[in-house]
Structure 1
Amino acid sequence: MFTLEEIAESRIVYLRRTGAYGAANNNHMEKLKSWAATHKLLRPDTAVLGIAHDDPATTPPHACRYDTCLLVPDDTGIQDPEIRETRLTGGPHAVLTVPHTAEALQQAWSTLFHDLTAHGHALDTTRPVLERYRPDLLAQHLCEICVPVH
């Protein structure tokens, strides 16, 4: 079951990976975390976000885009040509906590949108769905899927 959470508008920095979703996304996430650690942006409570931009059911695997993101303060200077930045639009999200395994994430993705509709929520397609990896949850082998809703 999901909970509702208001996620604040934030500045994010990110690395984009294009290719089939899967294990390579984890390597990409480690690359961003390493970069963030060297720039003193990675604290023990820092959440990393994943944004899958394409539906693998309708997009060829080689064209799927995945952003690994980190929330940063507005005054953080970014001087790396590989690191992009943008604003994460805030608003209400349905948050589902799931085991951090490929199987559990796949199962959650397959039922999540139906469950939202069944509970009277509609997906807000103007904002991205987020995978949120918080250290306290990862220590319990859990992660979150945050779906923007109206």
Structure 2
Amino acid sequence: MKVDIATLPPVRIATMRKTGPYGPEIGRFWMAAFRPWLREQGLLGAATYGIGHDDPAVTPAQDCRYDAGVEVDADFTAPPGVFITLLPGGVNAVAAFSGQAWEVPGAWQWLLREWLPASGRSADFTRPCTEYYPRHWRAEADGSFACELRLPLA
């Protein structure tokens, strides 16, 4: 994976939360809850984010928190069950990921366990790690897709 260092601006997002195991359940959450909500709000095609708040090696699977988010304007009002948050900007390692959903955890492990120590940099875990899906992203017929893995750096 190619990794660049970039200073990113803060972004206002509307999020829906899923609590429970990471893995295939996240894809089902996007398809059953988040994408239909995006469609209802007229937000399909906007830039979206995935935010895993917990390390599944430390947090019990049933307690892992994951937010699916979408960029929204300042005048967007969140309906019940949806929350507005500001993703802080700052310096990030930005890794270009391309592959299948089941490969995402391995890509994060590589970024955190191999790239980060070799880079001489330190992570800033006061800011969330995110997966960024640009406007109008889509999965290919075989299920593969591209996104950015964004790791905040100190």
Q: State the TM-score, normalized to the length of structure 2.
A: 0.85
Amino acid at match of 2:27: N
Identity fraction in percent: 33
- State how far apart, in whole Å, the 1-side matches of 2:75 and 2:7 are: 23
Which structure 1 residue ranges, 5 or more long, are not aligned?
A: none
Q: Name which of structure 1's ranges 2-11 and 129-138 shifts more when overlaid on structure 2.
A: 129-138
Which structure 2 residue ranges, 5 or more long, are not aligned?
A: none
Q: Name which of structure 1's ranges 59-68 and 91-100 shifts more when overlaid on structure 2.
A: 91-100
RMSD: 1.8
Q: Name which of structure 1's ranges 32-41 and 58-67 shifts more when overlaid on structure 2.
A: 32-41
- State how far apart, in whole Å, the 1-side matches of 2:51 and 2:93 are: 15
Distance 1:145 1:22, change over 3 A: same
Over 6 Å off, 4+ runs: none
Amino acid at match of 1:53: H
Give the structure 2 partner of residue 35 of structure 1. 37
Any residues of structure 2 matched to 1:62-81 within 5 Å, and which? Answer: 62-78=62-78, 80-81=79-80
Give the structure 2 partner of residue 10 of structure 1. 11
User: For 2:110, what is the secondary structure of its paired residue?
Assistant: helix
- State how far apart, in whole Å, the 2-side matches of 1:5 and 1:58 are: 29
- State how far apart, in whole Å, the 1-side matches of 2:22 and 2:48 are: 17
Is 1:144 the counterpart of 2:145 in the alignment? no
Amino acid at match of 2:128: P
Any residues of structure 2 matched to 1:105-120 within 5 Å, and which? Answer: 105-113=104-112, 114-120=114-120
Report the CA distance between 1:117 and its aligned residue: 2.5
- State how far apart, in whole Å, the 1-side matches of 2:62 and 2:47 are: 27
- State how far apart, in whole Å, the 2-side matches of 1:28 and 1:7 are: 27
Give the structure 2 partner of residue 48 of structure 1. 48
Give the structure 2 partner of residue 104 of structure 1. 103
- State how far apart, in whole Å, the 2-side matches of 1:136 and 1:6 are: 22
Contact 1:98-1:104 within 8 A present in 2 as well: no
Distance 1:55 1:101, change over 3 A: same
